[in-house]
A and B are shown apart, each in its own frame.
Chain A
Amino acid sequence: MSNSQDTEPSIDPRLRALLNMLRATPPRDPKAEAYGRAKYIAEVDELFAQDAKPISNPDRNQLLGAQPKQRFTLASLRQSLAFTTLTAVLSIFFILFGGASATAYASQSALPGDALYSLKTGLEETQVRLSRDAARQAELHLDFAERRLVEIASLISQRRFDDIHTATSEFEAHVQQAIQSLEIISVGDPARAKELTVQITATLSSYSQVLQGMLATVPDTVKPVVEKAILASRGEGSNEVEFEGTIQEITPDGWMISGKLVKATPKTEIKGNVVIGTLVKVHAVMYEDGSLTAREIEAVESQGENLNDNVVNSNGNDNIATGNPNNNATVSENENEGLEDLNSNTNRNDNEGEDNTNQNDNDNDGSGQNVNENDNDHQDDNANQNDNLDEHGDDTNDNNHDSGGNSNDNEGHDNDNSGGGNENGDD
Chain B
Amino acid sequence: METSIKADAKSVTRHDLVSLYEQHSPGLYRYAYRLLGDQHMAEECVSETFSRFLQTIRNGGGPNENVKAYLYRVAHNYITDIYRRQPPPALSLEEDLHAGDQMNPVHMLTREMEKERVRQALVQLPSEQRRVITLRVLEEWSHEEVAAALGKTVEATRALQYRALAALRRLLFEPEDEIL
Interface residues of chain A, those whose CB is within 8 Å of chain B, are 1-5, 7-8, 10-12, 14-16, 18-19, 21-29, 32-33, 36-37, 39-41, 43-45, 47-48, 57, 59-61, 63-75, 77, 108-109, 149-150, 153, 156-157, 202-203, 206, 209-210, 213-214, 217
Cα separation A37 to B24 with both chains bound (whole Å): 11
Q: Do A4 and B142 contact each other (CB < 8 Å), given the known contacts A63-B5, A75-B60, A77-B58?
A: yes
Which of chain A's residues has its CB closest to B30's CB? A25
Task: Say whether B20 faces chain A, with CB atoms less than 8 Å apart.
Answer: yes
Which of chain B's residues has its CB closest to A56's CB? B11
The 9 A-B residue pairs with the shortest CB-CB distance in the complex, in nearest-first order: A26-B98, A75-B60, A2-B142, A64-B16, A4-B140, A57-B10, A206-B90, A22-B34, A25-B33
From B8, B12, B61, B169, give the contact of A12 (CB < 8 A). Answer: B169
Q: Do A60 and B138 contact each other (CB < 8 Å), given the known contacts A14-B173, A47-B57?
A: no
Q: Do A22 and B138 contact each other (CB < 8 Å), given the known contacts A68-B11, A70-B13, A74-B11?
A: yes
Cα separation A45 to B54 with both chains bound (whole Å): 11
From A12, A43, A67, give the contact of B13 (CB < 8 A). Answer: A67
Cα separation A241 to B141 with both chains bound (whole Å): 60
Task: Say whether B96 faces chain A, with CB atoms less than 8 Å apart.
Answer: yes
Q: Does the CB pair B10–A19 fall under 8 Å?
A: no
The minimal Cβ–Cβ distance linking B76 to chain A, given in whole angstroms, is 15
Which of chain B's residues has its CB closest to A22's CB? B34
CB contacts (< 8 Å) of A33 on chain B: these are 25, 29, 43
**SS class, residues of chain B in contact with chain A:** helix
Q: Does the CB pair A64–B90 fall under 8 Å?
A: no
CB contacts (< 8 Å) of B51 on chain A: these are 40, 43
Cα separation A12 to B25 with both chains bound (whole Å): 31
Which of chain A's residues has its CB closest to B158's CB? A10
Task: Say whether B147 faces chain A, with CB atoms less than 8 Å apart.
Answer: no
Q: Does the CB pair B18–A41 fall under 8 Å?
A: yes
Given contacts A1-B140, A36-B47, 10 further A-B contacts (CB under 8 A): A12-B165, A18-B114, A21-B111, A32-B39, A39-B47, A44-B18, A149-B86, A150-B41, A213-B86, A214-B86
CB contacts (< 8 Å) of B145 on chain A: these are 1-2
CB contacts (< 8 Å) of B90 on chain A: these are 202-203, 206
CB contacts (< 8 Å) of A7 on chain B: these are 143
Please, could you name 14 A-B residue pairs with CB atoms under 8 Å apart, sorted by A? A2-B140, A2-B142, A8-B137, A11-B137, A18-B118, A22-B34, A28-B26, A43-B51, A44-B17, A63-B6, A65-B3, A66-B15, A70-B13, A71-B11
The minimal Cβ–Cβ distance linking A325 to chain B, given in whole angstroms, is 56
Which of chain B's residues has its CB closest to A109's CB? B44
Q: Does the CB pair A47–B58 fall under 8 Å?
A: yes
Q: Do A10 and B87 contact each other (CB < 8 Å), given the known contacts A3-B142, A25-B33, A63-B16?
A: no
Task: Say whether B99 faces chain A, with CB atoms less than 8 Å apart.
Answer: yes
CB contacts (< 8 Å) of A65 on chain B: these are 1, 3
Question: C-beta contact mask, B146-180 vs A, less than 8 Å → 1, else 0?
Answer: 00000000000000001001001100110000000
CB contacts (< 8 Å) of B59 on chain A: these are 75
**Most B C-beta atoms less than 10 A away, residue of A37, A64, A108, A157:** A64
Cα separation A22 to B47 with both chains bound (whole Å): 21
Which of chain B's residues has its CB closest to A50's CB? B58
**Most B C-beta atoms less than 10 A away, residue of A11, A44, A59, A109:** A44
Q: Does the CB pair B14–A44 fall under 8 Å?
A: yes
Q: Do A153 and B85 contact each other (CB < 8 Å), given the known contacts A66-B16, A74-B60?
A: yes
Which of chain B's residues has its CB closest to A72's CB? B11
Q: Do A4 and B137 contact each other (CB < 8 Å), given the known contacts A12-B165, A47-B54, A63-B3?
A: yes
**Most B C-beta atoms less than 10 A away, residue of A21, A33, A149, A157:** A21
Task: Say whether B46 faces chain A, with CB atoms less than 8 Å apart.
Answer: yes
Q: Do A1 and B118 contact each other (CB < 8 Å), given the known contacts A19-B133, A75-B10?
A: no
From A1, A29, A39, A45, give the contact of B142 (CB < 8 A). Answer: A1
Which of chain A's residues has its CB closest to B22's CB? A37
Task: Say whether B136 faces chain A, with CB atoms less than 8 Å apart.
Answer: yes
Which of chain A's residues has its CB closest to B33's CB? A25
Q: Does the CB pair A23–B138 fall under 8 Å?
A: yes
CB contacts (< 8 Å) of B40 on chain A: these are 32, 108
Cα separation A59 to B162 with both chains bound (whole Å): 44
The minimal Cβ–Cβ distance linking A103 to chain B, given in whole angstroms, is 16
Task: Say whether B50 faces chain A, with CB atoms less than 8 Å apart.
Answer: yes
